[in-house]
Structure 1
Amino acid sequence: MSDPNKNKPVDDVTGTETTGHTWDGIEELNSPLPRWWLWTFYATVIWGIAYTIAYPAWPMVSGATAGLLGYSTRGEVARDIDAFREASAARDSQLAEADLVTLASTNEDLYRYAVSSGAAVFRNNCSQCHGSGAAGAKGYPNLLDDDWLWGGTHEAIAYTVRHGIRNDEDDDARYSEMPAYGEILSEEEIAALVEHVRSLSGMEHDEALAASAVENFTDNCTACHGDNGMGNVDLGAPNLTDAIWLYGGDREALTETITNARFGVMPPWGPPRLTEAQVQAVATYVHQLGGGQTDAGN
């Protein structure tokens, strides 16, 4: 029988079989892999097969194979969340029933917990609109100042969070609607109203046009904004005499507001979205940011 290795090329210097590949006269040796490397490789293959059997691994149409151990990172996170909730259950129960007006003075530990947990609730659910620092944006109120459309007391803030504003989900949502005066007044009358509104807050304005709009303002705007234009928190009507504008106080923005009106919507965040304790917590957090109003009787 002929030797199968007889015709295989061999390196003259080392006596090692070559692969037959040559580059610039240099032949590639067909040296065997070290034993330790081979056994390590085989071990990783076995480990990989065992892993795909024991843990979720192979993608399917609507998920992945569950694995014999039934492990999932989501399940682990869920268990951690449940453990945290169990540890916080007693304080959450207290917070859900707490009087937010007196909380800081009667239970300092629970108050600190409310502020801390309320900050987390705010970052997860409110910062998308009001900003991570609660400074708001065009159409989204700044929660750091003392200008509140619906009131800035503990109770008012908690109610707003719980029920939302102008939404169709909660029958107790705060609700008001400004008419679109573009369907009622002429462009000239709206232009004059813009000047009058600017005059209320001390901005540069056309005095003659502003004076000509006094009657229209009285007939159409004072029912909500008040005779002096200082607004009404019961109706969510903004104060027109300060320098704070939700949609802007320039002529273009005011013309758009008066012509087509605004209709900002906030969803209700009460149960089941948030627990009552979380509502109380985020109301406490927002109130202490710097613009919270003093509660009646305090």
Structure 2
Amino acid sequence: MAVEQPERDSYTGYLTTGHEWNGLKELNTPVPRAVYFFLILTFVFSVGYWVLMPAWPLGVTYTKGLLGIDQRNLVAASLQDAAQERSVWTKRIETESFAAIQSDARLMAIVRETGHTLFGNNCAACHGADAKGGPGFPNLTTGSWLWGGKPEDIFNTIRVGINSTHPDTHVGQMPAFGRDQMLPRQDVIKVVSYVYSLSHPGATDVDPAKVEAGKAIFAANCVACHGADAKGNPELGAPNLTDRDWIYGGDFNAIDTTVWGGRQGHMPTWEGRLSALDRKILTLYLVDKRTPRP
């Protein structure tokens, strides 16, 4: 029986494999020499690496290699160098006053970089990545702070928290004047109208008569915390009601909900989780981000 001879492609001169797909025939082309070259080069490199570098496991140990390189020691040395370099500026932040640090551009550059990471890891979940808060969480970029906006005040608030488990925590609560029947519904509407007018002067969407009546109700029930001028009291964590920085919303309905049902915010204590250095960096970071409004 005659053996069928393989077909040779007339264009390339290569034999075909006998495989055909829809008129396309597969050529039996040789492996490029470059492939062999790189395979040999890879083999030589691997043998050289095994000889020079730590490679082969030997039970509880391993081959050390002729170069004696130990990545664990290299990493440990790198960490030691980084810690030594870090200690130069951490010691200054730990010991110098807030004002001195704020006046040092190089230190503040470090504060911004380190504080951004600390804030993102610990605070952004509530206050947002931009620190501008949201419903129930205060905007930290303004000059309106419940427990005082000085660096020392902010540092202490981060330390003890608000209504937290810390023994020295700030304690604050807005009573539920309506729900607990401290004021009848109509009086709640009147005092809400007055409070709304404080941060919306000249507003035409509230009854002037209710605003005037609400002023007397405010004087009888609210000045003990918010003050006669309604600008708040940092000693009690009572907010300023005359600005536009509202934690739970400053529109009429939101204020009504607050007066009727009360509020009791919560901020955890960070003393057990963050070091004093980290809390100070966070304080400086927040003071730097703050943009007080007139």
TM over 0.5: yes
CA distance in 2, matches of 1:291, 1:251: 26
Distance 1:82 1:26, change over 3 A: same
Report the 3-state secondary structure (helix = DSSP H, G, I; strand = E; otherwise coil) of the residue aligned with 2:167. coil
Distance 1:215 1:78, change over 3 A: farther
CA drift of 1:197 comes to 1.0
CA drift of 1:163 comes to 2.2
Asked if 1 retains the 8 angstrom alpha-carbon contact of 2:163 and 2:170, the reply is: yes
CA drift of 1:152 comes to 0.8
Instruction: Write out per-residue CA displacement over residues 16-70 of structure 1, whole angstroms, 9 at most, x where no aligned residue.
Output: 543222245553222232344256468779999x99xx69xxxxxxxxxxx999x
CA distance in 2, matches of 1:46, 1:259: 80
CA distance in 2, matches of 1:139, 1:260: 14
Q: Show the counterpart of 1:244.
A: 245
Q: Show the counterpart of 2:278.
A: 278
CA distance in 1, matches of 2:139, 2:243: 14
CA distance in 2, matches of 1:240, 1:137: 17
CA distance in 1, matches of 2:112, 2:25: 73
Report whether the alignment pairs 1:171 with 2:171: no
The equivalences for 1:32-111 within 5 A come to 32-38=30-36, 40=38, 83-104=81-102, 110=107
> Is the deviation greater in 136-145 or in 276-285?
136-145
Asked if 1 retains the 8 angstrom alpha-carbon contact of 2:6 and 2:16, the reply is: yes
CA distance in 2, matches of 1:45, 1:155: 64
Asked if 1 retains the 8 angstrom alpha-carbon contact of 2:102 and 2:284, the reply is: no
CA distance in 1, matches of 2:257, 2:76: 48
Report whether the alignment pairs 1:211 with 2:212: yes
Report the 3-state secondary structure (helix = DSSP H, G, I; strand = E; otherwise coil) of the residue aligned with 1:213. helix
Report the 3-state secondary structure (helix = DSSP H, G, I; strand = E; otherwise coil) of the residue aligned with 1:288. helix
Q: Which runs of 5+ in 1 are unaligned?
A: 56-66, 293-298
Distance 1:177 1:34, change over 3 A: same
Asked if 2 retains the 8 angstrom alpha-carbon contact of 1:230 and 1:238, the reply is: yes
CA distance in 2, matches of 1:192, 1:76: 71
Q: Which amino acid aligns with 2:32?
A: P
CA drift of 1:264 comes to 2.6
TM-score normalised to the size of structure 1?
0.71
Asked if 2 retains the 8 angstrom alpha-carbon contact of 1:135 and 1:141, the reply is: yes
Asked if 2 retains the 8 angstrom alpha-carbon contact of 1:11 and 1:17, the reply is: yes
CA distance in 2, matches of 1:175, 1:277: 25
TM-score normalised to the size of structure 2?
0.72
- Among 192, 196, 199, the alignment partner of 2:197 is 199
Q: Show the counterpart of 1:227.
A: 228
After superposition, the CA RMSD in angstroms is: 4.1
Distance 1:17 1:87, change over 3 A: same
